[in-house]
């Protein structure tokens, strides 16, 4: 069942230091090829990023590939590059104040957040009670 939508955001370090003194938000397609990127190893956001770069005709300059979104936030906050994370991750990160959200066009397709269970698990009264409480309307996109 869908419960919400979380935009995928391009993020950069807020503070400038020796690691990222030349790290400015790209203003042209060509500049994207020189920006160090902190990318997820795989998954939905990586697929969307790969397609985004492909559409721009740019080969990303991959600085690191990491397993989790919070690792992306951490590496970006330290100034190692630009990354992409779901807004819900950034909203709940203790490092959010060290991150700048970049306004990039076109935007990446947002994450759809939801819950799922096997049908046979619905026989469990606790799971069934939770399942029945979940509203099934179309989730509203969160603003950023």
Q: Is the pLDDT of residue 72 over 50?
A: yes
We report the CATH number of the domain holding residue 107 as: 3.40.190.10
In a domain, 33, yes or no: yes
Average pLDDT over residues 54-79: 94
pLDDT at 105: 85
pLDDT at 17: 62
In a domain, 121, yes or no: yes
Provide the percentage of residues in the chain whose pLDDT is more than 70. Answer: 87
pLDDT at 24: 65
Range of the domain at 104: 2-133
Q: What's the pTM?
A: 0.80
Contacts of residue 29, Cβ cutoff 8 Å, sequence gap at least 6: 56, 57, 58
In a domain, 143, yes or no: no
pLDDT at 114: 87
Helices and strands counted in the chain (H then E): 5, 7
Q: Is the pLDDT of residue 139 over 60?
A: no
Q: What is the mean pLDDT of the chain?
A: 87
User: What is the number of domains present in the chain?
Assistant: 1
In a domain, 124, yes or no: yes
Query: pLDDT tens digit string along 4-44?
Result: 899 999 999 987 765 555 556 677 788 888 889 999 999 99
In a domain, 12, yes or no: yes
Query: pLDDT tens digit string along 90-112?
Result: 999 999 999 999 988 889 999 89
The structure tokens listed for 72 are: 């992306």
In a domain, 144, yes or no: no
Give 2's pLDDT tier (boundaries 50, 70, 90).
confident
DSSP β-bridge partners for residue 10: 84, 102
Total Cβ atoms within 10 A of residue 88: 17
In a domain, 141, yes or no: no
* Side-chain-side CA neighbours of residue 54 (13 Å): 6
In a domain, 19, yes or no: yes
């Amino acid at each position: 069942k869908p419960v919400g939508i979380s935009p995928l955001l391009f993020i950069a370090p807020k503070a400038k230091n020796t690691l990222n003194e030349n790290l400015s938000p790209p203003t042209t397609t060509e500049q994207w090829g020189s920006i160090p990127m902190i990318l997820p190893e795989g998954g939905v956001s990586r697929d969307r990023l790969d397609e985004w770069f492909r559409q721009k005709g740019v080969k990303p300059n991959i600085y690191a590939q990491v397993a989790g979104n919070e690792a992306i936030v951490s590496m970006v906050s330290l100034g190692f590059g630009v990354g992409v994370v779901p807004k819900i991750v950034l909203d709940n990160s203790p490092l959010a104040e060290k991150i700048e959200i970049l306004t990039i066009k076109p935007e990446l397709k947002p994450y759809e957040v939801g819950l799922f269970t096997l049908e046979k698990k619905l026989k469990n009264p606790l799971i069934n009670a939770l399942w029945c409480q979940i509203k099934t309307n179309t989730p509203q996109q969160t603003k950023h």
